[in-house]
Structure 1
Amino acid sequence: MLNLDLALLGDWLNAYLWVLFRVASMLMTMPVFGTQLLPMRVRLYLALLLSLLITPQIPAVPSLDMLSLASWLLIGEQILIGACMGFMLQLLFQVHVIAGQIIAMQMGLGFASMNDPAMGISVAVVSQVFTMLTTLLFLGMNGHLVAIEVLAESFTSLPIGQFFQLSTWMEVVLRFTWVLAAALLIGLPAVTALLIVNLAFGVMMRAAPQLNIFSIGFPLSLVFGLFIIWVVLGNFVGQYHELVSEVLILLRDMVGAS
């Protein structure tokens, strides 16, 4: 007859469950894996697989009663840490969405929106193009593997039972303001070019009021905006590489990984 040691079983559950909560919360909030495109069951299986692979490689976890208040606080701590890591990566994609919205509003395509199957909301077509390019580059450059590597290292640099240091967290937040400004930097060339075009139309309307500038200006602004987007996409990879490098560095600094 098989005899089960309840204490040993509890320690085993503690070792894997604490890891599972952090891993699962990050997978639920990070881009690509945390979207509606990936079924919930697949995400759960992936979280279980990563937990089984990571747990034997990390330091010993605290042994607590599963029904105690300290255990519930520890669960909330792991969920918060994983969600913050996933949210940090999610902002990388939202920066390009905001940049696409800025360009679309300036070129007159703000009304042209489509459903984003990943987020379940309507976004501008230009934003959707930028999102698809960012997703392909993120997967093509193994950004998901780097994120999982940082997640595994976080259990060593930020062990279970230890929370973010306030000074480190504030430093990361202050440094992340550069990443938020990247949306304006991405859309600035197109916005500047379209502003010059609109100023030119304003001068033409002032010089020749009899011209129907609205029927002429809107198609020209749209065509010129598409041309500017084509030019901007030529340097899209370089801008993305610089931005994703900064985000991954901030992610490592947030958890104290080397």
Structure 2
Amino acid sequence: MDFLMSNVFFHIDIVLLVFIRFLGFFITSPVFGGRDIPSYSKIGLSFIMSTILISTMPDITVSYNDNILGYVLLILKELVVGMLFGFIVYLILSTFYLAGQLIDYQIGFSMINVLDPLSQIQIPITGNFYYLIILALLLVTNGHHKIIQALFYSYNVIPIGEAIFNSTMIGNYIIILSDIFILAIKIASPIIGAILILDVALGILARTAPQMNMFVIGLPLKLIIGLVFLMIITPLLNMIYNFIAEELFRQLFIVIKGLMP
């Protein structure tokens, strides 16, 4: 314990920079950065992680201009690096928000939004349902431990103050955004396909029996079919989570390597 405290206070400037990267990650990451989580908890967890890192990697060195401005710029750079890592986690998990929005639009739930207690924003009800299940699976399978492990790994390949923000990083984020849309459409495709077939059937029925009100008939049918398919798809979320988790860590490591000097 004495060695830990002496090592931390001896390298207080390095500890602060390590702390800032962890803090930026915990602010933007949906697993740790919810608004319902007290700020003191995020700060305390960031400090604990930074002291552990300094104790396990005592050879960390930092080079910066020998003035307060150079150190402040270094702090801002580390904060941005941490926030970029947390934003990756947020983007990947937002796939289920987008998939839920597509599903709700098809079955008539697009007018219903619920308040997400983590982000304090209005989100689609099906998207919130999917997101909470995936978040529970992430915690149960210790996925948050792997995310923190990836953040620890970032200090091996991206030393403090040596991250490079270039076109490669921007290209990686563009690829991630395109993958999110593709994955969301794949997740929602069974219900979208079923509703499309129903719309075609209702269109044919409207031409053969124009006296029938297809709008009144179609709304409850879409809702019933949508709920039935949700019941069928929900048990498969565990398999979907395994794929999304692999994609999350793959994209996270790609971004980490894209910031390497």
TM-score, structure 1 length as denominator? 0.89
Do 1:179 and 1:247's aligned partners in 2 also have CA atoms closer than 8 Å? Answer: no
Cα distance between partner residues in 2 of 1:124 and 1:173: 24
2:231 maps to 230
Cα deviation, 1:200-240, whole Å, max 9, x if unaligned, reads 11111111011122222111110111011112223222122
Pairwise CA distance, 1:14:
0.7
Do 1:190 and 1:232's aligned partners in 2 also have CA atoms closer than 8 Å? Answer: no
Cα distance between partner residues in 1 of 2:54 and 2:246: 27
1:3 maps to none
Q: How many residues align?
A: 250
- From the superposition, tell whether residues 9 and 68 of structure 1 become closer, same or farther in structure 2 (CA, over 3 Å): farther
Do 2:8 and 2:55's aligned partners in 1 also have CA atoms closer than 8 Å? Answer: no
RMSD: 2.2
- From the superposition, tell whether residues 249 and 210 of structure 1 become closer, same or farther in structure 2 (CA, over 3 Å): same
1:130 maps to 130
The sequence identity of aligned pairs, in percent, is 26
Cα deviation, 1:91-126, whole Å, max 9, x if unaligned, reads 122110010000000111111221111111111211
Do 1:37 and 1:117's aligned partners in 2 also have CA atoms closer than 8 Å? Answer: yes
1:44 maps to 43
Do 1:205 and 1:211's aligned partners in 2 also have CA atoms closer than 8 Å? Answer: yes
- From the superposition, tell whether residues 254 and 88 of structure 1 become closer, same or farther in structure 2 (CA, over 3 Å): same
Displaced runs of 4 or more, over 6 A: none
2:4 maps to none
2:20 maps to 21
Alignment of 1:1-258 (within 5 A): 12-58=11-57, 59-62=59-62, 68-164=68-164, 166=166, 168-169=168-169, 172-173=172-173, 175-176=175-176, 177-256=178-257
2:3 maps to none
Structure 1, unpaired ranges of 5+: 1-7
Cα distance between partner residues in 2 of 1:166 and 1:130: 34
**Partner-residue secondary structure (3-state), 2:114:** strand
Do 2:54 and 2:60's aligned partners in 1 also have CA atoms closer than 8 Å? Answer: no
Pairwise CA distance, 1:248:
0.5
Do 1:21 and 1:78's aligned partners in 2 also have CA atoms closer than 8 Å? Answer: yes
Further displaced range: 35-44 or 125-134: 35-44
Cα distance between partner residues in 2 of 1:25 and 1:42: 13
Cα distance between partner residues in 2 of 1:187 and 1:40: 35
Letter in 2 for 1:24: L
TM-score, structure 2 length as denominator? 0.88
Do 1:26 and 1:82's aligned partners in 2 also have CA atoms closer than 8 Å? Answer: yes
Cα distance between partner residues in 2 of 1:129 and 1:157: 37
